[in-house]
Homo-oligomer: A and B are copies of this chain.
Amino acid sequence: MNFCSHCGDAVDLAVPVGDDRARRVCSGCGAIHYENPRVVVGCVIEEGGKLLLCRRAIEPMVGRWTVPAGFLELEESLTQGAARETWEEACARVRVAAPLASFDLLHIGQVYTLFRASLAEPGFAAGPESLEVRLFEPEAIPWDELAFPVIDFALRLYLQDRASGRPNLHLGHLRWNGEGSRFRAANYELGDHRRVGLDPDGT
């Protein structure tokens, strides 16, 4: 950010009165431009014991697999956003159930919120942002071809919960260990991981 979006003057980094961290402050009108994390919403969809994944048609990570997810828009709720993203990327109508995870991706300022979901009506297909949409048996999940580390963590915890019969809402922050690719799950750690136990009847 170089210019004020209100008046067009240059912005400087400064700590506003009563604040304790540097913000972008306009040198002309004095407007303070706060930067906050953005919310990503999406769905882990199970159908007949298999999980739905989309192969990305867009950057970043074209050709890699992920779950339907994207930025929450203004004037929609978390669950509406998760269902909309699924419709756009996988042409699937879903029943959004209990949350699976809310992970803070500290290095990129995202709160990644995934819900458990199932198909509300049969059928799915590649939307414009996907090359391909498929259901995978758990043992066939293409772990080495997933698009983002957060998806690796979320799918493994989903399968753990399923195996144990004890669903959780997983909270925590994902932190890159500072070495190697930022796109490899092995280079991340799930910090402050909290399992909030859910009533199995509600999931």
Q: In this complex, what residue of B is CB-closest to A203?
A: B196
Per-residue CB contact flags for chain A residues 153-172 toward chain B (1 = under 8 Å, else 0) read: 00000000000000001011
Q: Shortest Cβ distance from A198 into chain B, in angstroms?
A: 6
In the docked arrangement, what's the CA distance between A34 and B106, Å?
Answer: 20
In the docked arrangement, what's the CA distance between A34 and B74, Å?
Answer: 10
Q: Contacts of A169 on B, CB cut-off 8 Å?
A: 99, 169, 196
The count of chain A contact residues (Cβ–Cβ below 8 Å) is 52
Whether B199 pairs with A197 at a CB distance below 8 angstroms is yes
Per-residue CB contact flags for chain A residues 138-156 toward chain B (1 = under 8 Å, else 0) read: 0000000000000000000
Whether A72 pairs with B18 at a CB distance below 8 angstroms is no
Q: Shortest Cβ distance from A200 into chain B, in angstroms?
A: 9
Stretch at the interface among A4-12, A43-51, A177-185: A4-12
Q: A residues within 8 Å of B by Cβ?
A: 1-8, 10-11, 18, 21, 33-39, 71-80, 98-99, 102, 104, 106, 109, 111, 128, 169, 171-173, 191-192, 194-199, 201-203
